[in-house]
Structure 1
Amino acid sequence: MSTPSPSIVPSPVSLRWSTTDRRSSPELLAPAGNWECAKAAVENGADAIYFGLERFNARMRAQNFTEADLPQLMEFLHRRGVKGYITLNTLVFPGELPEAEQYLRTMITAGVDAVIVQDIGICRLIRHLSPDFPIHASTQMTITSAVGVEFAQSLGCQLVVLARECALKEINKIQQQMVDRQIALPLEVFVHGALCVAYSGQCLTSEALGGRSANRGECAQACRMPYELIADGERVELGDRSYLLSPQDLSGLAVLPDLIRAGVHCLKIEGRLKSPEYVANVTRVYRQAIDRACHLTPAHPSSPTPPPSALRTTTHAPANSPQSSDRYNLEMAFSRGLYTGWFRGINNQELVHARFGKKRGVYLGEVKRVQKEHITIHLQAPVKPGDGVVFDNGHPEAKEEGGRIFAVDTHGAEAVLSFGRGSLNLKRIHPGDKVWKTSDPELGRQLRQSYAGDTPHFQQSIDLEVYGELDQPLMVIARDPQGHVVQVESAMPLVVAHSQPLTVDRLSDQLSRLGNTPFRLGTLSAQLNGSLMLPISELNRLRREVVSQLEAQRIQPKRWQLYPDRTLSDLLPTSSAAPSSPAQLIVLVRTLPQIQAALQAGMPTLYCELEDPRQYQEAVRVVRTYRQGSSVREPAASLSSTLPPPELFVAPPRITKPNENWILQQVRSADADGYLIRNYDQLEYFRNDRCIGDFSLNVANPLTASYFKQEFNLERLTVSYDLNIDQLQDFMKTCPAHWFEVTIHQHMPMFHMEHCVFCAFLSEGTDFTNCGRPCETHEVKLRDRTGTEHILQADAGCRNTVFNGVAQTGAEYVHRLMELGVNQFRIEFVNETPEQVTQIIRRYQQLLRFEIKGSQLWRALKLQNQLGVTRGAMVD
């Protein structure tokens, strides 16, 4: 590209400024479950979209895209200056790795901008195939600390999506610690949408209750169901609160400036299962809010704004303010109630209101009178004919009355709503019922118009520099926000202007006519030497040429490197024969009496998980006292006399947040024989100790397994609970089987969550500082709709785990796994009595000695409920 002639003597530089420069603002990332959603996101200001293909994405119920769609989709996105990220954010099983490899090759070749990944093995495979194809660490990787970010960086990730549970203070602390550790990796957070109550990547509820894994994109949304609270065997009366695990929807709008100040690189909207109208609505609201926060000029027609009478009057913002309009639009898009989630810290009283678990919308008011076809309400947000409403009588699990309003007659603070004859069963509507506006057809029409047709609705700014002198061509240099640069020159020289010379205003007027293009004029600077003229037709041609060349540059696919000779097989570990040793049981206990029972039953290896890490010293003392006593007993007096002295591994909590190393210090102070590792912080903290990798590391394929074995020297790995027996058998054929232990008996840990049910419903406190610690004085269960009572426990970080009330067993498959070389089998206890612990251990000892069959075991232990036998995650 040539540069402006140095012979030009510039006149004083004239500038026409537009302050729209989104390169300095955070990226806005919108969801796209199909083509129409992708278009809605682009036309409403998304900087990037994320979408899934037919396999390996965490929203398998979305329509999704196909591999064949990729070239056309990426060309459309790049022409509009928008990036496209593919979600490959599920665990990948051994037999699926070849297909995943082919998917990755297709993505890289198609010029996809990045891939969002959960599986550690897939990160390794990507880096093996390509040195520069961008990897984004999914929120499914459960990263909550700077150590977790550094772990992702070591895998070759270029960006980390933090867990939703990270508060603003924690995000700032992570950023600070990243600087201290010299980690330069951008961070992304979810800023709006449905809020999972459990940590992403750590929710096994769908797997436990229905064989559908959230780690495989098949979440059954059990958190949105009603539960009864059972404390010390008695049902707790909670009034109309029964959706105890259903958080309000996340809305980070109120903390958007704080997120920007915290240096968050990307703000992500949830919703790949939502409609195009939802995508358009939420994307536009956040686009404009980001622009306001960054003092940018809007590049879009103003947001659909309801009349002031339709705005919520209870908001603190004025009725006609952007914030009030934004709130209205977001509530109409989809709302179970909007809340800032964990951004402002933990408030267990507000996170989960527990009154419903489905979409509501804008709160209109309360029913005052019901007369014939007319319903009088005390109005909070007046409505108009055509709007849809639902009447909430406090029983959202039942059929609710609702319909479209035929007419509205307003009298001060009251309004009489009329409905079509027979459209409502008025006997089911009573004074005191709440009324919600669930549909606004006018708003929906405006949103659909925002992405209708082929003409671009949202335009990105381009900056123009114009240079010219007499008898030389006029030169125009254009730059877009993505860094593309083009230079075009007029086909004729500039001549002396006898009238109407070129000025900045005239140039701006002509070159800004970009109406049917993806562009709009941002800044324009001109250096013209003298009073010069060029025909309007030539200026128009220059403008069209700028657009054509910029579009041509934009649609060129990204040229990521792809090693032609590297394949998946290069990374697969060599499977070797397991050392010849008898199969052993390992037990995980959660109370001190259970430790005594397990020791008496002759267990050589115990794992211990206690709520209070300070009790680990006592657990270690109990085991070592027993160990010393065993060494002097007569052989006949001890069941464990022929076994090695018992060893105790203790378990830190599953999540480690910034400033929580004190918990790890307490765990280590017990001086146990080893540690059960649950997360990335613990991998680093206990790196020089004996360690076992727990199920929460999500080891589901040989690429992940070999990474943990080779990089962290873990003695064994616990196989992911997402694998069924066929997949588990495939897995054992790809790695040395003695690397692993398999959990064959457990109460599946379903929800693991920051939300504290104890605090929310057994106290008036907001968090651990003022809740009174009901978790220490009450035994609590959650009773589901089938009558099953699931066990609730808290840990040292006040995080709750809901354990399946019915124990699951893989006993039928133990002998088959032993033939494959597996010789370490784990059984886990939660609230069993010492007598139950003894009985269960005895049965599994008989199983390993081939004295009973697996089917005999689960029948003898009565591992069943009214829905039938629950044989665990390994069931075919």
Structure 2
Amino acid sequence: MKKPELLAPAGSMNMLRAAIDAGADAVYLGLDQYNARMHAENFTLETLREALDYAHLRNSKVYITLNTLIDDDEMMDAVELALAAYMKGVDAFLVQDKGLASYLAEHLPQIPLHASTQMNVFSLSHSEEMKKLGMKRVVLPRELSMDEIRARAELFHDNDIEFEVFVHGAMCVCYSGLCLFSAMNKSGSRSGNRGSCAQPCRQSYQLWEGNREVAASGKPIRSGKLLSPKDQSALPYLRELMDLGVDSLKIEGRMRDEQYVTAVVSAYRKMIDAIYENKDSKEVLEQVRNDLLITFNRGGSFTTQYLQGRKGPDYLSGEYVGKYGLYWGDIISVSAKAGTISVRSFLPDPPQKGDFLSIRDKEEEIASFPLGKIDVERDMSVVKGLHPDAIAKLSRGMSVYRMSKKIEIPREKLRRTPICGTLRQDGDMIVLDVMVKEGAFAGVKASSSAEIQDLGDSEPLTWERTKEQLQKTGQTPFVFSDLKKDGDFPIALRISNINAMRRDAMAFLAEKILERQTLGRSEKYASGSEEPISSEKPEKMHVVIAEYIDMRRITSGYACGADIYVFPALQIGQAGRINYINELLNSEPQAKIALRLPGAYKDDMIDAVSKAGKLASTHAGERFLGFFGTNASEGTVGLTSGANIYNHFTYMYEEAKALDFLYLSYELTQDQIRKLAMDISGEELHAYMCLHRYGPIEWMQSEFCPLGRHQAHCTVCRDHPETSIGEKTSEKNDHHDDRVDVVCYPGFCRADLFGNARNTVSAETVSEILRMGVPAASVVRFMNEDQDERRMIVDALLDDDTDDEGE
């Protein structure tokens, strides 16, 4: 069994110290630009120096998160930022943007890269692409099961790529990198892909009958925290993860504080070490789990929903989305006069003075207070700390929750770098040689010496006394794991000489390590590939693509005058749908079709996707183009907006794959789109730049279904084929702009949320892009329109484009 890296969040310098002291093998942190937690305290290039020194002296690594989408105007700044941080000694960079990744891999291949979970490396076919991008490690999506992780572990290791798994912290209800909810909601200024997620999934919502275009009326189907998952804890799966060779176990939480980091890192350090030494037990697991629950959880427990490979109804946090605490016991009596509360609890670890308690009646908090005094006798505890007036409001049967537990790491348990040492004599000097034993700085050496003293009538020091003194490294980042004496010689030194020699050796070793941080690092740019992309422009420079979002809502024919029609792969096989497609193919002999893949999908859906492709090919023959997906794989002819093409570097990276259609990110403004087109206009381009002209877009693509809530054998989506979600604010319920459509996929227990696009492309912009020589596709997306409406929309769009071209 390999001992994996324990990777901890560091949103500030205090958090970094806390994480490393508690036992983190590595930390990940963001600078003040281009990181997915822009509202954390973060670091600058100046403060990064202190972080690197603290970590490296304690044998921990530092990873920088450059895990947002990068605008064309920002790209070279991001590259220079990465290079500057690398030259300071950063160990690796987590990246989301494939344009940034491909540029760094080609021009600065010396910079180690990790594929962020925001890159959405979901498919089994992605290992080869990650190798070409120069990835040293891939952070796996949180939605994968243990079986799926096992399959990817072998693939990535075969390609000499490490893999990292999230083991603790907040879960996103949407696939990472595919959530536009925050970017499109309300002001639209808080993009998750740009590091400013406002966490709208934690708000209260109402689920309504009918689509978002119809005013809500009557009672909602359901209300509450409909999109807020519990936090994940992979404690029950740690041994299994370690058995299959996981390289890194990641803790989420850069927006938390140092107490949270200390508690969570120390808990996982304890479990990892216990498993590695085969000393884990149910008792240890229970103690660690309870400590984690006290530190932070949502809803009273953790979820392992995806790791276990089975969906269930325990995924959501419920209405209590903040810190929930650990259920400690029930009140059995109160005495306002005595100022006491008697609690019955069967937990082995009672709270201590200063810990906070929360008293609740069902889910409503009645009181919260720091514990003043506690007397424990068997299963009953008598506590003080609450004012008599507050005690008078309490009653028997109310629940008591423990909300805090101070975790302090004893000095001898603080993380330090293991070193070995040798004491030897060299002429009239006694020399202490020290060397780092393991980690990135293994083999770094330093020496110090002291001149042999005339002790007069005093005896030389014994080796035992000398060794004891040399091992007093508590104020340094080092600890001796091995210390020996080389040869039989008298140690004719005083204790003050030993102390000075030890201090000098530790100081010299620290200097050597800090020098090694940047040793051999180069800021030289590689020339990159000079091979031009070989491609031919398509026959038509402009085409119209009509996408059908939810085939269940279409009750009339599909034909509307488009060149290409795109249908959801997960719905094409439903009863009667293929008949509509046959009618379309017969009525429009020049039309072609394609299938839209889910933004991400699990391995057990591969067969369903394959069958959908075969069905489309059987009925459409050569007029079936292939699949549109978020990543290029076998059968893919186009990339959807989930590919996050946000700059021309990413565009050209994907263009080189000989794809036919490239959707731009829905987050780009028209000005950004025009600039992107200008930047690529001199290239030989084959793919159509797909531009959003009309219709709703995916605000959220998820493995979760808000209708069925992962209930077993659920039929809710069949009973409610058209539903929408809006904020639980009564004055907004009649405004459809504030609601989004829920599109479910019966049998797959997953759903996407569709809302209005913030950015649509005008006919003028399309014409301008065409004049630049860039092939373009105008994309219209239909949800609730009838066939006449669809024809009118396409006709109007074509008229606008023709008029503008004439100008």
Indicate yes or no: 2:193 matched with 1:243: no
Quote the Cα distance in structure 2 between the aligned partners of 1:394 and 1:841: 55
> Out of 647, 651, 654, which is 1:708 matched to?
654
Q: Which residue of 2 aligns with 1:13?
A: none
Indicate yes or no: 2:592 matched with 1:647: yes
Answer with 544-553 or 382-391: which moved more: 382-391
Q: Which residue of 2 aligns with 1:352?
A: 316
> Out of 247, 263, 277, which is 1:295 matched to?
277
Gap change, CA 1:370 and 1:544, over 3 Å in 2: closer
**Is contact 1:586–1:604 with CA below 8 Å preserved after alignment?**
yes
Gap change, CA 1:372 and 1:506, over 3 Å in 2: closer
Q: Which residue of 2 aligns with 1:675?
A: 626
Shift of 1:160: 0.8
Q: State how 1:328-727 maps to structure 2 within 5 Å.
A: 328-336=290-298, 337-341=300-304, 342-366=306-330, 379-380=344-345, 383=351, 386-393=354-361, 402-405=368-371, 413=380, 419-420=386-387, 426=393, 434-440=399-405, 443=406, 447=408, 457-464=414-421, 476=433, 478-482=435-439, 483-486=442-445, 488=447, 508-524=467-483, 528=487, 533=491, 535=493, 537=495, 540=499, 542-556=501-515, 557-559=517-519, 561-562=521-522, 564=524, 583-592=542-551, 599-612=558-571, 614-615=573-574, 622-630=580-588, 645-658=590-603, 660-670=605-615, 671=617, 673-680=624-631, 683-686=632-635, 691-710=637-656, 712-727=657-672
Q: Which amino acid aligns with 2:246?
A: V
Shift of 1:679: 3.7
**Is contact 1:753–1:799 with CA below 8 Å preserved after alignment?**
no
Q: Which residue of 2 aligns with 1:170?
A: 148
SS of 1:733's partner is helix
Shift of 1:499: 12
Q: Which amino acid aligns with 2:700?
A: F
Q: Which amino acid aligns with 2:328?
A: L
Deviations 1:715-747 (A, max 9, x none): 120001121233222222212397411123333
Number of equivalenced pairs: 764
Quote the Cα distance in structure 2 between the aligned partners of 1:662 and 1:202: 23
Q: State how 1:25-64 maps to structure 2 within 5 Å.
A: 25-64=3-42
Q: Which amino acid aligns with 2:387?
A: G
SS of 1:259's partner is helix
Gap change, CA 1:502 and 1:147, over 3 Å in 2: farther
SS of 1:520's partner is strand
Gap change, CA 1:844 and 1:330, over 3 Å in 2: same
Deviations 1:625-658 (A, max 9, x none): 5434455xxxxxxxxxxxxx11101122222434
Shift of 1:826: 1.1
Q: Which amino acid aligns with 1:272?
A: R
Shift of 1:394: 5.7
**Is contact 2:23–2:265 with CA below 8 Å preserved after alignment?**
yes
> Out of 215, 226, 230, which is 2:193 matched to?
215
Shift of 1:410: 7.0
Shift of 1:620: 6.1
Deviations 1:693-714 (A, max 9, x none): 111111111111111111x201
Quote the Cα distance in structure 1 between the aligned partners of 2:392 and 2:592: 67
**Is contact 2:666–2:759 with CA below 8 Å preserved after alignment?**
no
Q: Which residue of 1 aligns with 2:764?
A: 815
Q: TM-score scaled to structure 1, two decimals?
A: 0.77
**Is contact 1:475–1:489 with CA below 8 Å preserved after alignment?**
yes
Shift of 1:839: 5.1
Gap change, CA 1:270 and 1:594, over 3 Å in 2: closer
Q: Which amino acid aligns with 1:784?
A: E
Indicate yes or no: 2:74 matched with 1:101: no
Q: Which residue of 2 aligns with 1:157?
A: 135
Quote the Cα distance in structure 1 between the aligned partners of 2:291 and 2:79: 42
Quote the Cα distance in structure 2 between the aligned partners of 1:832 and 1:526: 86
Quote the Cα distance in structure 1 between the aligned partners of 2:462 and 2:562: 89
Q: Which amino acid aligns with 1:276?
A: E
Gap change, CA 1:220 and 1:193, over 3 Å in 2: same
Q: Which amino acid aligns with 1:339?
A: F
Q: TM-score scaled to structure 2, two decimals?
A: 0.83
**Is contact 1:597–1:835 with CA below 8 Å preserved after alignment?**
no
**Is contact 2:239–2:275 with CA below 8 Å preserved after alignment?**
yes
Shift of 1:156: 0.6
Deviations 1:382-408 (A, max 9, x none): 545544344445667xx9753445566
Unpaired runs of 5+ residues, structure 1, are 1-22, 299-315, 632-644, 766-770, 852-876
SS of 2:633's partner is helix
SS of 1:278's partner is helix
Q: Which residue of 2 aligns with 1:826?
A: 779
**Is contact 2:332–2:344 with CA below 8 Å preserved after alignment?**
no
Deviations 1:248-280 (A, max 9, x none): 112222322222112111111111111111112
Quote the Cα distance in structure 1 between the aligned partners of 2:336 and 2:89: 62
Gap change, CA 1:156 and 1:111, over 3 Å in 2: same
Deviations 1:80-116 (A, max 9, x none): 2221111000000111112212212211221211111
Gap change, CA 1:749 and 1:843, over 3 Å in 2: same
Q: Which amino acid aligns with 1:364?
A: W
SS of 1:359's partner is coil
**Is contact 1:74–1:84 with CA below 8 Å preserved after alignment?**
yes
**Is contact 2:421–2:432 with CA below 8 Å preserved after alignment?**
no
SS of 1:614's partner is coil
> Out of 695, 700, 704, which is 1:755 matched to?
704
Quote the Cα distance in structure 2 between the aligned partners of 1:610 and 1:656: 11
> Out of 222, 239, 256, which is 1:257 matched to?
239
Q: Which residue of 2 aligns with 1:226?
A: 204
Shift of 1:604: 1.6
Q: State how 1:92-131 maps to structure 2 within 5 Å.
A: 92-131=70-109
Gap change, CA 1:848 and 1:371, over 3 Å in 2: farther
Identity of matched residues, %: 25
Q: Which amino acid aligns with 2:780?
A: I
Q: Which residue of 2 aligns with 1:745?
A: 694
SS of 2:752's partner is strand
Q: Which residue of 2 aligns with 1:635?
A: none
Quote the Cα distance in structure 1 between the aligned partners of 2:750 and 2:511: 54
Deviations 1:486-517 (A, max 9, x none): 2647566899xx99999875664343221211
Q: Which residue of 2 aligns with 1:637?
A: none
Shift of 1:820: 2.8
Q: Give the RMSD, CA atoms, in angstroms.
A: 4.2
Q: Which amino acid aligns with 2:727?
A: D
Unpaired runs of 5+ residues, structure 2, are 212-217
**Is contact 1:91–1:700 with CA below 8 Å preserved after alignment?**
yes
Gap change, CA 1:610 and 1:458, over 3 Å in 2: closer
Gap change, CA 1:248 and 1:160, over 3 Å in 2: same
Q: Which residue of 1 aligns with 2:678?
A: 733
SS of 2:80's partner is helix
SS of 1:550's partner is helix
> Out of 185, 190, 207, which is 2:166 matched to?
190
Quote the Cα distance in structure 2 between the aligned partners of 1:134 and 1:839: 52
